[in-house]
């Protein structure tokens, strides 16, 4: 419910368990009052502290700067007195910056409007508050949108900038959300990493100054993640306060928490201002992406489940989100570039006999692609490799009872390609400079309409050529040399954002034309694992590192905010191709069950003993798949923290059943059996486990003794069913 109290000038958004409250100081300045556990009162304007120095400008104009620099802004602007982190910077026709955004009007309506050209949450059982602020001298208007869903304890925020003046302006910075609060000795929780070690959880006290998460790589990145949370000291999975922001965007981002002079905290999130400048003609508008804001008063676990349910119910659109995904085998680690039709059919036949349901042909099937040195952009079949063409291969695979998937990297172009030789101007490039190569490839200039059309035409022809059920859309390098031979000089700053918008357009067009396609996004592993991609694909490749031990850390950080059903997780060969570690085949299978499940290996080349285990692993995936896709996730223990073992639980929504995954990474000598405490069960119900009966309250409060396991890298699955 959203309401406006005209007497107190207070806007209040209420979900089932939380309230978000905004006030107006002097009837002009939108200020943040409260975000937390649900309150019934709207008489909350006293929390703005406007009855104490420096007072509001109408009462003390001589100290307006002090007011602006201490007021808890709902959307921060700079240049006129607030010296903290700003959300918006605009350069006018006079070459000047500085805004004074004041309240003009508001509207409250049922529903939630789509964001033009951008992914965003959706749903009919929703309400939206739209605040209009204006900088009167320039006519620049800022529309702040806040949406809530009846079934979610989250607030969705987005911003639209309108040029209501007579001259063109340049937007140099436009962030999507701002949260000003009193400091409560918060710690910052963030996700960091690199290639093959994405989304490692990091927690640190917030000191004076700023804590920054960012990407200027043209993607959300391996290194930082567009997520930031402030947590109370000692916050655990089950207790403590959490204020979290997550950006529904797949390009450059900035997320910052700033501890200021008055012991207040400002948290902001949006498009990174570096490499960004957007020209806005009179009457035009710019839509900024959406930020999801979540509050939890029951620790990280409640935050996690809020994000999971929100994304399953209100972000992912694919029909596959609650459906079993086909168990696939990917040709990459099985063969790399060394394959042909005969080898692929042998791989498919052996896989089909084991119960694997789809063959995915990865990189190397097009142009003269026998290494990563060339042919990106030449999306025609290499018939020296695939004799008889793509359709023949796919038909033969289908005849085995298997589906067929294919790898594409549509955003890239190789210098050694027919298309680059014909159109060198199609690559991103800086004038009079030699462009930087990465993985021997350039990035296509997707600000060019003809390039977008060329890329889509290639994708369409590939998908029309055969019965293709799945596409793995990859992006194997970051954006550099951010220059376009197409855009005029005063619009070069739009290039990075235009690239992201073009990717969204391409995937939207593909899914509209091929609605039954299962799309999996990827970027050199997990460099574009973000909520923006989930709007188009129900799953994303989590990391190129498939080692079972490394995956425990990577998947825990990913599971912190993403449903398990979206996490691309496969069983691979050993020694692992990334880290060289050898782990038992059974353990690799258990770890991969906490995701989409599949294989990155050649069944013909692994041991007979391991090969015989594949049908049983697939049976486990079928057995637990619905629970993994739809259930509530609880983190019991963290290998990243204890460096010994990992444990997580999934409980069905009706609490009728639960499954616990326990992975012993290191075996300690002379160690007694471990005890774990389950969560989320029906306290009064009796559950069956290992032919014994346990009260739910007993399992949660007294705990369960686990069977001892001998050796490193061991795993077990524990099942609980209500009697």
Which of 273-287, 495-509, 659-673 shows the lowest per-residue confidence on average (mean pLDDT)?
Answer: 659-673
For residue 701, the model assigns a pLDDT of: 98
For residue 287, the model assigns a pLDDT of: 98
Is 700 buried (19+), middle (13-18) or exposed (0-12) by CB count in 10 A?
A: middle
| Alpha carbons 720 and 652: distance in angstroms, whole number | 11
Check whether 48 has a pLDDT greater than 90.
yes
Active-site residue (options: 82, 100, 474, 530): 474
Q: Are 55 and 46 in contact (CB under 8 A)?
A: no
Residue 14 contacts by C-beta under 8 Å, 6 or more apart in sequence? 1, 2, 3, 38, 148
For residue 697, the model assigns a pLDDT of: 98
pLDDT tens digits for 395-442? 999 999 999 999 999 999 999 999 999 999 999 999 999 999 999 999
Is 268 buried (19+), middle (13-18) or exposed (0-12) by CB count in 10 A?
A: buried
Residue 352 contacts by C-beta under 8 Å, 6 or more apart in sequence? 400, 401, 402
What are φ and ψ of residue 130, in 5° steps?
-120, 115
Check whether 670 has a pLDDT greater than 90.
no
* Angle, helices 341-354/608-630, rounded to nearest 10 degrees: 70
Please give the model's pTM, rounded to 2 decimal places. Answer: 0.97
| Alpha carbons 133 and 140: distance in angstroms, whole number | 9
| Alpha carbons 608 and 127: distance in angstroms, whole number | 58
Domain boundaries along the sequence of the chain? 2-314, 637-722
For residue 545, the model assigns a pLDDT of: 98
Residue 187 contacts by C-beta under 8 Å, 6 or more apart in sequence? 203, 204, 205, 206, 230, 231, 232, 233, 235
Check whether 469 has a pLDDT greater than 90.
yes
pLDDT band with cut points at 50, 70 and 90 for residue 353: very high
pLDDT tens digits for 124-173? 999 999 999 999 999 999 999 999 999 999 999 999 999 999 999 999 99
DSSP state of 377: T
What one-character-per-residue DSSP string does 261-298 give? Answer: TTSEEEEEEEE-STT--EEE-TT-EEE--EEEEEEESB
For residue 189, the model assigns a pLDDT of: 98
What are φ and ψ of residue 195, in 5° steps?
-55, 135
pLDDT band with cut points at 50, 70 and 90 for residue 671: confident
Supply 602's token pair.
């050649």
At the fourth CATH level, the homologous superfamily of domain 637-722 is Golgi alpha-mannosidase II (2.60.40.1180)
585 to each of 327, 470, 548, 591, 633, how far by Cα in Å?
17, 26, 9, 10, 24
For range 678-692, the mean pLDDT: 97
pLDDT tens digits for 522-568? 999 999 999 999 999 999 999 999 999 999 999 999 999 999 999 99
For residue 672, the model assigns a pLDDT of: 86
Average pLDDT, the chain: 97
- CATH architecture of the domain 2-314 equals Distorted Sandwich (2.70)
Residue 712 designated active-site = no
For range 62-85, the mean pLDDT: 96
Say how many Å lie between the first and final Cα of the chain, rounded: 39
| Alpha carbons 618 and 596: distance in angstroms, whole number | 11
For range 21-37, the mean pLDDT: 97
Cross-strand partners of 128: 109, 147
For range 591-606, the mean pLDDT: 97
Residue 259 contacts by C-beta under 8 Å, 6 or more apart in sequence? 183, 206, 207, 208, 209, 210, 265
pLDDT band with cut points at 50, 70 and 90 for residue 265: very high
CA nearest neighbour of 397 among 460, 336, 470: 470
Count the neighbouring beta carbons within 10 Å of the beta carbon of residue 209. 10
For range 296-311, the mean pLDDT: 98
For residue 561, the model assigns a pLDDT of: 98
Q: Are 508 and 451 in contact (CB under 8 A)?
A: no
Strand pairing report for 518-521 and 470-473: parallel
Check whether 707 has a pLDDT greater than 90.
no
Check whether 9 has a pLDDT greater than 90.
yes
For residue 158, the model assigns a pLDDT of: 98
pLDDT tens digits for 86-100? 999 999 999 999 999
Q: Are 569 and 596 in contact (CB under 8 A)?
A: yes
Residue 544 designated active-site = yes
């Amino acid at each position: 419910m959203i309401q406006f109290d005209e007497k107190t000038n207070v806007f209040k958004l209420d979900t089932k368990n939380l309230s978000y409250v905004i006030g107006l100081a002097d009837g002009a300045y939108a200020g943040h009052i409260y975000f937390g556990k649900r309150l019934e009162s709207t008489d909350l304007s006293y929390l703005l502290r406007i009855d104490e120095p420096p007072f509001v400008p109408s009462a003390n104009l001589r100290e307006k700067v002090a007011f602006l620099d201490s007021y808890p802004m709902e959307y921060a602007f700079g240049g006129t007195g607030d010296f903290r982190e700003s959300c918006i910077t605009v350069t006018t026709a006079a070459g000047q910056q500085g805004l004074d955004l004041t309240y003009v009007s508001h509207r409250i309506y049922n529903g939630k409007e789509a964001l033009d050209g951008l992914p965003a949450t959706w749903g009919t059982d929703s309400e939206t508050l739209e605040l209009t602020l204006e900088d009167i001298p320039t006519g620049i208007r800022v529309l702040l949108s806040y949406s809530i869903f009846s079934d979610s304890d989250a607030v969705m925020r987005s911003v639209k900038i309108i040029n209501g003046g007579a001259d063109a302006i340049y937007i140099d910075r436009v962030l999507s959300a701002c949260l000003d609060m009193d400091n409560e000795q918060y710690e910052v929780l963030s996700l960091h990493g690199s290639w093959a070690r994405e989304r490692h959880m990091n927690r640190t006290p917030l000191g004076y100054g700023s804590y920054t998460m960012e990407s200027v790589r043209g993607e959300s990145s391996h290194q930082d993640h567009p997520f930031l949370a402030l947590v109370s000291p000692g916050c655990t999975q089950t207790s403590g306060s959490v204020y979290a922001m997550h950006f529904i965007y797949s390009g450059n981002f900035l997320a910052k928490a700033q501890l200021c002079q008055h012991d207040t905290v400002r948290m902001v999130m949006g498009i990174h201002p570096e490499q960004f400048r957007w020209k806005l003609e009179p009457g035009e508008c710019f839509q900024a992406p959406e930020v999801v804001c979540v509050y939890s008063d029951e620790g990280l676990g409640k935050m996690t489940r809020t994000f999971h349910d929100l994304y399953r119910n209100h972000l992912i659109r694919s029909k596959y989100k609650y459906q079993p995904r086909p168990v696939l085998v990917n040709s990459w680690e099985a063969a790399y570039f060394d394959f042909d039709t005969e080898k692929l059919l042998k791989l498919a036949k052996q896989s089909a006999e084991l119960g694997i349901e789809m063959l995915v042909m990865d990189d190397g099937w097009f142009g003269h692609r026998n290494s990563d040195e060339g042919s990106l952009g030449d999306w025609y079949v290499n018939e020296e490799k695939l004799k008889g063409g793509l359709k023949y291969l796919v038909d033969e695979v289908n005849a085995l009872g298997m589906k067929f998937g294919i790898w594409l990297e549509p955003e890239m172009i190789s210098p050694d390609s027919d298309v680059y030789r014909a159109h060198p101007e199609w690559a991103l490039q800086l004038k009079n400079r030699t462009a930087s190569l990465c993985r021997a490839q350039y990035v296509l200039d997707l600000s060019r309409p003809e390039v977008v059309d060329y890329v889509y035409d290639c994708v369409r022809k590939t998908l029309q050529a055969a019965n293709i059920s799945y596409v793995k859309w990859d992006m194997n390098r970051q954006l550099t040399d951010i220059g376009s031979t197409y855009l005029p000089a005063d619009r070069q700053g739009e290039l990075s954002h235009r690239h992201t918008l073009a990717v969204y357009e391409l995937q939207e067009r593909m899914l509209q034309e091929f609605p039954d396609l299962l799309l999996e996004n990827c970027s050199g592993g997990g460099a574009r694992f973000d909520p923006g991609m989930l709007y188009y694909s129900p799953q994303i490749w989590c990391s190129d590192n498939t080692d079972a031990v490394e995956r425990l850390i990577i998947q825990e950080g990913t599971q912190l905010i993403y449903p398990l059903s979206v996490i691309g997780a496969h069983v691979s060969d050993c020694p692992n191709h990334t880290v060289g570690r050898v782990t038992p085949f059974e353990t690799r299978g258990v770890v991969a069950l906490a995701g989409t499940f599949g294989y990155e290996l050649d069944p013909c080349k692994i041991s007979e003993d391991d090969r015989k285990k594949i049908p049983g692993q697939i049976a486990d995936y079928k057995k637990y798949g619905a629970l993994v896709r739809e259930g509530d996730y609880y983190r019991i223990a963290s290998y990243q923290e204890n460096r010994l073992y990992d444990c997580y639980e999934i409980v069905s929504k009706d609490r009728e059943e639960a499954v616990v995954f326990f992975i012993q990474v290191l075996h300690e000598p002379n160690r007694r059996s471990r005890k774990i405490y389950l969560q989320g069960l029906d306290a009064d119900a009796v559950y069956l486990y290992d032919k014994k009966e346990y009260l739910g309250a007993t399992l949660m409060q007294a705990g369960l003794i686990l069977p001892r396991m001998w050796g490193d890298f061991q795993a077990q699955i524990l099942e609980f069913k209500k009697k």
